[in-house]
Chains A and B, each alone.
Chain A
Amino acid sequence: MKRKDLILKLIGEMSSYILDENPMKMVISLHQEEDGLHLAIIDDAKHSDADLEKLDKTLNSRKRPELAAYYGAMTGHDLLGSSRLDLLGWQIKHSDIVRMGEGVKIDLWLGGDRFDSRQFNIPDKGE
């Protein structure tokens, strides 16, 4: 899949999830490097601890190549019904979920097997 298509699908599915909660604010930030990318989604909707735990479990579920390549095609595309972050979780390298005020910040990291997100060049706030 082309990188542009993948990014569009990820943004579509994540937006669907966030907008289900009817937030007043949603910010999507993309940072690309040659062998990986970082997508951050921030909202201001209220999320319970149980919701965030479920979100974390879904996005960081075990990799399912047999499902990702086939059913993953529905990610961010077939949006009738509840959002399905499991489709997304099978395709990303890992995810971090952090509370920000009332809302949440969801970091999605993508890359090949050699991609190490810990070395990813995300600028600090001060830079």
Chain B
Amino acid sequence: MLQIILLTLLSALILTGVLSDGITETIQGVVELQIHPARLINDFIDIAGIGAAFVNAALVGLTGLLLIKFSGIGLSGPTFAAVLTMTGFGLFGKTPLNILPIIAGVYLSARLVGKRMKDYLIIALFGTALGPLVSALAWEFGLPLLPAFLAGMAGGVITGFFLPSIAVSMLHLHQGYNLYNMGLSCGFFGLFAAAVIRGFSQFSTVPSHWFVESSLLLELFVPVFSVLLISAGLIIGGKQALRDLKEIQSIPGRLPSDFVDMASISGSLINIGLIGLFGSAYIFIIGASFNGPVIGGLFTIMGFAAFGTHLKNSWPVVAGVITATLLTGNPLNSPGPILAVIFSTTLAPISGEFGIFVGFTAGFIHLLMVMQTGSWHGGMNLYNNGFAGGLTAALIVSVIQWYKSNKPEM
């Protein structure tokens, strides 16, 4: 079922894209995206049009889906989340060309310690967050084509090689309370990569691209997809699906919480659809544009609605981000706060486990952090909110652990 849903989505993206811009323009745009800087924030819709961005996103998602298939792993909560996240970020940063060397690096790392690709599959899929590092090495230093290509490929393989060791260590830092652990891992690696690059060259910031035009197609894509998922869940599961949805709302969501396994696929589909609808409603309410990063963000949180996120554990964190945004005088519909609200649900397990107040506090701190962290890694880590969320979760978890470990027992 999950495979049918993903294949339908990817097909819809390709079909919509080609119908929107025509085959020639779409292909030209896709080629342009492969050699374009991809660091945050590069909205591919703004750069190459809806058609190219949609087809690029579909190709990135398809790469993930094929990797899962060839690894011999069935689709479930985490793999569904990974493909939807990859597809979403294919709208603003990931391309087939900049993710493949990272996947190859993770494979080499697995082989070195006698593991199979399937063992590090999740790391390989989410590790593609550092795709912009590959693009930066290849296309931002004015190298001739072949050396540029080789530099990007080598950088990507080296990056992927280091990710499994970092990913496991970062898990211990926040103990599973930051859903986007690869965001923290890639951000951590990105600090070193940015330092090395800055040490040997002028590593300027790239011009930001943020599509601001209104498009009915873009506005309707996620809500329609969400309604279809809710309908599918209700048709498959009936009343039991609603009971499973209720059960999902009671799960704290700490990593790894596979809602498909813990509850059911039908309950998960309704949860995914609800997250998509509420996310879209928020974007409509604040009057923001449905562009690449926004749709990509909505795809991501919908993916994670099968792997840790639900309305009950998300709202306190989101409320914290909105409050912090207003108190710091930032407009709710500016790029940073929009993405922070969407992606702050990475901290949903904190409110799921420790309650509303702690979740709200986490969201508040998250907004303050995420507005700074992007520049630390030069925008090369696409999961910047996962990075900031990981640091926030680590702070909160360490305080709670210290308190629980040291307070006298009653």
Binding site for B on A (CB under 8 A): 61-62, 64-71, 73-74, 77-78, 80-82, 84, 86-87
Q: Is B397 an interface residue (CB 8 A)?
A: yes
Q: Are B116 and A74 in contact (CB under 8 A)?
A: no
Q: Does B407 contact A (CB under 8 A)?
A: no
Cβ B176 vs Cβ A65 within 8 A:
no
- Complex Cα distance, B258 from A36, in Å, reads 29
Contact call A69/B115, Cβ cutoff below 8 A? yes
**Does chain A have a CB within 8 A of B93?**
no
For B201, list chain A residues within 8 Å (CB).
none
Collect the chain B residues with CB atoms within 8 Å of residue A62's CB: 261
In-complex Cβ contact of B122 among A66, A74, A78, A82 (8 A): A66
CB pair A66–B118 under 8 Å, yes or no, is: yes
Contact of B78 (CB < 8 Å), options: A66, A73, A81, A82: A66
**Contact indicator B175/A70 (Cβ below 8 Å):** no
Q: How far is the CA of A74 from the CA of B172 in the complex (A)?
A: 7
Among A65, A77, A82, contact of B118 (Cβ-Cβ < 8 Å):
A65
Given known contacts A65-B116, A69-B115, A74-B176, A80 and B252 CB-to-CB distance under 8 angstroms = no
Q: How far is the CB of B355 from chain A (nearest CB, A)?
A: 12
Name the CB-closest residue of B to A79.
B175
Tell me the nearest residue of chain A to B173, going by C-beta: A78
Q: How far is the CB of B120 from chain A (nearest CB, A)?
A: 7
Q: Smallest CB–CB gap between B139 and chain A, Å?
A: 31
Q: Which residues of B contact A (CB under 8 A)?
A: 71, 73, 76, 78-79, 115-116, 118-123, 164, 167-168, 171-172, 175-177, 252, 254-256, 258, 261, 353, 397, 400-401, 404
CA distance A86 to B78 in the complex (A): 14
Known: A71-B171, A78-B172. A66 touches B252 (CB 8 A): no
Q: Which residues of B contact A64 (CB under 8 A)?
A: 76, 258
Q: Is the CB of B252 within 8 A of A81?
A: yes
* Known contacts A80-B404, A81-B353; A65 and B119 CB within 8 A of each other: yes
**B252: shortest Cβ distance to chain A, in Å?**
7
9 closest cross-chain pairs (CB), A and B: A69-B119, A78-B175, A71-B256, A66-B121, A73-B168, A80-B401, A81-B353, A65-B118, A66-B73
Judged by DSSP, the binding face of B is helix
A61 to B256, CA, bound (A): 14
Q: How far, in Å, is B192 (CB) from chain A's closest CB?
A: 21
Closest to A58 in B: B262
Interface-centre pick from A68, A74, A81 (highest chain B CB count, 10 A): A81
Contacts of B252 on A, CB cut-off 8 Å? 81-82
**From B68, which residue of chain A is reached at the shortest CB distance?**
A66
Q: Are A61 and B123 in contact (CB under 8 A)?
A: no
20 contacts between A and B (CB under 8 A): A64-B258, A65-B118, A66-B73, A66-B118, A67-B78, A67-B122, A70-B119, A70-B167, A70-B168, A70-B171, A71-B171, A73-B168, A74-B171, A74-B172, A80-B175, A81-B175, A81-B177, A81-B254, A81-B353, A82-B252
Interface centre among A65, A66, A67, A86 (most CB of B within 10 A): A66
Residues of A within 8 A of B78 (CB): 66-67
Q: Would A73 and B171 count as touching, CB distance under 8 A? A: yes
Q: Could you say which of B71, B119, B175, B404 contacts A74, with CB atoms under 8 Å apart?
A: B175
Having A66-B78, A70-B119, one finds 13 other A-B pairs with CB under 8 Å, namely A62-B261, A66-B71, A66-B121, A67-B256, A67-B258, A69-B115, A69-B120, A78-B175, A80-B401, A81-B353, A82-B353, A86-B256, A87-B256
